[in-house]
Structure 1
Amino acid sequence: MSKVVAVVSDMIFQSKIASTASAVGLSVVFVNSLESFREATDDASPKGVLVDLEQGELVVAGILELSQTLTPKPTVIGYCPHVRKDVMDLAEQMGFDHVFPRSAFATNLEKILRGFDD
């Protein structure tokens, strides 16, 4: 079963991601720090990394940096409220593969997760 690592602290989004991942045949590991991300990726590189961009710039940058050292390199997707265009723009500049407004992320979550198994 392919693995996805999610840097998400919102329990509602955790539940939505977990149930959708299970429905499409992916396992998901939730982390909330750089150390827990390292631990979650020690044994194998995940297919994808989901990042709530409101985790703070240092955490977000650290997760992206660590993701880029993994082999094979996972697809890294960030999301945040649509009113935080500045944060979305910064994430794109930093090198996130895809950045979504939170509403689009939630609406398209199944499609996003299925994309990790291609």
Structure 2
Amino acid sequence: MPGLLLSDDLIFTSRIVATARAHGLTVVTAKTAEALLAKAKDDPPAGVILDLHNPTLDVAKLRAELPGVRIVAYGSHVDVERLKAARQAGCDLVLPRSAFVDKLETDIAGWLL
């Protein structure tokens, strides 16, 4: 299964998908958590990337629905509480958006495989 991405930000989604493609990876995108879970049930992914600012996201519910799946999340560096909550909800890696962008090129394969 390809990796999954939850994001409703078209420009950022395009950047992530293009980076994955450059590494020979496929990323299936979803704009809502419900759509992401439906795609994951069809073919469980090894990794999921979450935009913590997606309005449909409930990280704890998603973590419970995807046991054993690597979850990498990113969000605004000033939203410390949301980043902390994502860690507490069981995300494997939580990064401020700037760090996510810095690591995207080098780490995306590890996040999705």
CA distance in 2 between counterparts of 1:47 and 1:40 reads: 13
Q: Could you tell me whether the CA contact under 8 Å between 2:4 and 2:28 is conserved in 1?
A: yes
Partner SS state of residue 9, structure 1: coil
The number of equivalent residue pairs is: 113
Gaps of 5+ in 2: none
Provide closer, same or farther for how the CA distance between residues 14 and 99 of structure 1 changes in structure 2, counting only shifts above 3 A: same
Quote the RMSD (CA, aligned, Å).
1.8
Which one-letter code corresponds to 1:13 in the other structure? F
Residue 108 (structure 1) aligned with residue 69 (structure 2): no
Corresponding residue for residue 14 of structure 2:
15
TM-superposed CA distance for 1:91, in Å, is 0.7
Q: Please give the residue correspondences for 1:1-118 in structure 2 after superposition, counting only pairs within 5 Å.
A: 2-56=1-55, 58-68=57-67, 73-116=68-111
CA distance in 2 between counterparts of 1:35 and 1:57 reads: 8
CA distance in 2 between counterparts of 1:94 and 1:62 reads: 9
Partner SS state of residue 89, structure 1: helix
Give the structure-2-normalised TM-score.
0.88
**Percentage of matched positions with identical amino acids:** 34
Could you give the per-residue CA deviations for residues 19-64 of structure 1, whole angstroms, max 9, x where no partner exists? 0010111111111223312321133211210011112475333322
